[in-house]
Each structure stands twice: as C-alpha cells, then as structure tokens.
C-alpha cells in the first residue's frame, strides 16, 4: 500500500501521510521504492484502528 492508498484509507492528504509516517508509532515501510514507501495494508489498518483514525 503506497502513500496514495494510505491517504485514501485515512481520509487525509498524501502530505499528511508523510507527516504521520514521521511518528514513532507509525508502521515501518516494508519497502522504499522510487515512487515512495510501501506499507503492509494490515499494519496500516491496525495502526489506524489503534489510534482511532478508522473504526
């Protein structure tokens, strides 16, 4: 799941995803491609539920 997909899931901008990714509790990307970081969707969804960003 790339930055655009994370942004869509969380209902925020791609810029905001970049800011959130700086947080210590944000999941670590599984890869960093030329297009940007890539996360496991399960990791992002778990983090989003834990922080109350999605139900």
pLDDT of amino acid 47: 98
Nearest CA-CA partner of 3 in 23, 20, 21, 17? 17
Say if residue 11's pLDDT is above 90: yes
pLDDT digits (tens, 9 = 90+) for 15-52: 999 999 999 999 999 999 999 999 999 999 999 999 99
Identify any residues that bridge with 31 across adjacent strands, giving them in sequence order: 38
pLDDT of amino acid 15: 98
Is the pTM higher than 0.95? The answer reads no
Which residues 6+ apart lie within 8 Å of 54 measured at CB? 9, 10, 45, 48
pLDDT of amino acid 54: 84
Q: 14 falls in which pLDDT band (50, 70, 90)?
A: very high
């Amino acid at each position: 799941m790339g930055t655009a997909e994370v942004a869509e899931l969380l209902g925020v901008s791609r810029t905001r995803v970049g800011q959130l990714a700086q947080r210590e509790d944000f999941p670590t990307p599984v890869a960093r491609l030329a297009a940007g970081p890539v996360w496991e969707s399960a990791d992002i969804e778990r983090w989003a539920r834990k922080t109350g960003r999605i139900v």
